[in-house]
Amino acid sequence: MKSPAHVLPRGLLACLAALVTLCLVACATPQATSVSNELPFEQAVAKATDGLVSQTQTLPAFLAKVESKLAKRGVVVDPFLDSSTGQQTGATKLFEKRVTDRLTSSYDAFDLLPFQSANLSKAQYLLTGTMTRATGEHARNTFKLNLALTELRSGKVVAQASAQAQGAGLDNNPLPYYRDSPVLVKDQVLEGYIRSTATAPGQKADAFYLDRIAAATLINEATTLYNSERYQEALGQYRSALATPAGEQLRVLNGIYLANVKLGRTAEAETAFGKVVAMGIAYNELGVKFLFNPGSTEFWSDTRISGAYGMWLRQIARESTAAKVCMNIIGHTSRTGSEQSNDSLSLQRAAYVKQRLTAEAPNLGPRTKATGMGFRQNIVGSGSDNAVDALDRRVEFKIVGCN
């Protein structure tokens, strides 16, 4: 039977496929695209997405059309992040949705696959994205959007694009997992994600991050379950992630703690928090969200928020004693108020935490030092004094040498 006129013979398809491959190999590494003028959010997302895709369209128009018909390029999306905090927020979720919607509706060459372990072997590319709050006077209203497309097999970034977006009206509140987290979960894995998303085409993405991408799919599934209030299932998935070779990550241990809290398993939650603290000490830094009453050194009056603080302090004291470390206890404040008053307040709060730790473990007295940093090391810097900048009002425990 003869092939229909519109169907290419198999031999010709093979030749065209080989020609496409040769053209791809011969093409020079594309240049990253950057839109420096500030645009409304939706326009900035569109510009960044189109710039990213344009770097993959290096074939002549006819061959590019044939190549897209021959085989779509599978893409998995590791959820977008706020680069300052390592958190997923309402805004990063919207950014991700707008990018994936545009890829799906406007570009036939890409096939977006769920971010699941089974799809890592099927997909050709990994898509990552970050939002970075601008510094200075426009810190509350401007974000830099970064996108990167990484070839999974080689680990090389094949396209990178950025744009400046107006942030007015965006929901920068962290998603439930990050809102509920007692600690800053921006660890070496998330730092690698953020670096990869800003990497120039032709360069390798962060190896530490890519080596843990399979575990990241399980962590994402667990976090999605947590955000949907399916805590028992989330706990099981976090435990599954922990059992993998690269699963011992701060996000996982923190998730086990959070899920146990939601399930009312107090003893299990305390054990899990102890492991979170131990990992923070091992990495020489632990940022904990102790919230205080405004202008005060007293912990937040609402026990629904501060009720676990005693247990947190107990575990910090226990793990610090076991590790025989010395620490700087550094208080931080949000940007509200004068620099002088915030320096004083942050020092008083750090001193209060030191006092509480010493009450738990007297041997920590000479091995800890209280310091006030005011708002000079803000992570968010919005000055909104709500869940958005809760990390700015943290107390950090930095491991230092014992003199």
22-67 pLDDT, tens digit per residue, is 444 445 678 999 999 999 999 999 999 999 999 987 644 444 444 5
DSSP-derived 3-state class of residue 164:
strand
Q: Which residues contact 89 (CB under 8 A, 6 or more apart)?
A: 82, 131, 171, 172, 173, 174, 175, 178
Give the pLDDT confidence score for residue 26 in this predicted structure: 45
Ramachandran angles phi, psi of 144, nearest 5°: -95, 125
284-403 is a CATH 3.30.1330.60 domain: yes
Residue 246: C-alpha distances to residues 104, 192, 218, 334, 395 (Å): 32, 14, 11, 35, 28
pLDDT value, residue 385: 65
* Stretch(es) of the chain classified as CATH 3.40.50: 27-175+183-197
CA dist 152 → 31, 50, 149, 389 (Å): 19, 21, 9, 34
Residue 381, phi then psi, degrees to nearest 5: 80, 15
Instruction: With beta carbons less than 8 A apart as the criterion, state whether 196 and 157 touch.
Output: yes
For 85, 186, 291, 329, the CA distances from 338, given in Å and listed in that order, are 24, 28, 19, 22
Q: Which secondary structure element, helix H or strand E, spans residue 142, and what is its range?
A: strand 142-151
**Positions of CATH 1.25.40.10 in the chain:** 212-282
Q: Which of 179, 79, 59, 56 is nearest to 131 (CA)?
A: 79
Q: pLDDT digits over 93-104, tens only?
A: 999 999 999 999
Q: What pLDDT does residue 250 have? A: 95
What local confidence, expressed as pLDDT, does residue 3 receive? 44
Q: What is the pLDDT along the chain (403 residues), one digit of tens a residue?
A: 444 444 445 555 455 545 544 444 445 678 999 999 999 999 999 999 999 999 987 644 444 444 555 568 999 999 999 998 899 999 999 999 999 999 999 998 899 999 999 999 999 999 999 999 887 654 568 999 999 999 999 999 999 999 999 988 999 889 999 999 999 888 999 999 999 999 999 999 999 999 999 999 999 999 999 999 999 999 999 999 999 999 999 999 999 999 999 999 999 999 999 999 999 998 888 888 888 877 788 888 888 888 999 999 999 999 999 999 999 999 888 777 788 888 898 999 999 999 999 999 999 999 999 998 888 767 666 666 666 666 677 888 888 988 7
**CATH code 3.40.1370.10 for 212-282:** no
Among 183, 316, 181, 187, which residue's Cα sits nearest to residue 258? 181
| Amino acid 296: pLDDT | 81
Q: What is the pLDDT of residue 383?
A: 67
State phi, psi for 198 to the nearest 5 degrees. Answer: -105, 10
Task: State how far the Cα of 317 lies from the Cα of 359, in Å rounded to an integer.
Answer: 9
Give the predicted TM-score (pTM) of the model. Answer: 0.86
Overall fold of domain 27-175+183-197: Rossmann fold (3.40.50)
What pLDDT is recorded for position 25?
44
Phi, psi of 303 (to 5 degrees): -65, -15
Which residues, other chains included, contact 151 with Cβ-Cβ below 8 Å and sequence gap of 6+?
124, 125, 126, 157, 158
Q: Which of 188, 227, 203 is nearest to 92 (CA)?
A: 227
For the chain, residues classed under CATH 3.30.1330.60 are 284-403
